[in-house]
Amino acid sequence: MRIAVVEDEQKTREHLTSLISEYLDERGNVGSVAAFASAEAFRAAYEPLKFDLILMDVYLSERKQAATGMDLARTVREAKDRVPIVFVTSSRDFAVEGYTVQAAGYLIKPVGKEELVRTLDSIRLPEPFVRIGTGRLPVRVGDVVWCKADGHYVEVHALTETYRVRASFSEAQSALEPYGSFYLSARGYLVNLAFVRGMDQAEFVLRNGMRVPISLRNVADAKAAWSGYLFDKVRGL
Rounded to the nearest 10 degrees, the angle between the axes of helix 113-122 and helix 10-27 is 60
Cβ burial 104-128 (10 Å sphere, 16+ → b, else e): bbbbeeebeeeebeebbeeeebbeb
Report the 10 Å Cβ neighbour count for 157.
20
Please give the domain boundaries of the chain with CATH numbers for all domains: 2-122 (3.40.50.2300), 138-234 (2.40.50.1020)
Structure-derived torsion over alpha carbons of residues 62, 65, 70, 71, reported in degrees to the nearest 10: -150
3 state SS of 157: strand
pLDDT for 24 equals 83
pLDDT tens for the chain, 237 residues long, are: 789 999 999 999 999 999 999 888 777 666 789 999 988 899 999 988 888 899 999 887 655 545 678 888 888 999 988 899 999 987 666 554 555 577 888 898 899 999 999 998 888 766 777 888 777 788 888 899 999 999 999 999 999 899 999 999 999 999 898 877 999 999 999 999 999 999 999 999 999 999 999 999 999 999 999 999 888 776 554
pLDDT for 96 equals 47
Phi, psi of 177 (to 5 degrees): -60, -35
The C-alpha atoms of residue 106 and residue 108 are separated, in whole angstroms, by 6
End-to-end CA distance of the chain: 19
pLDDT for 234 equals 67
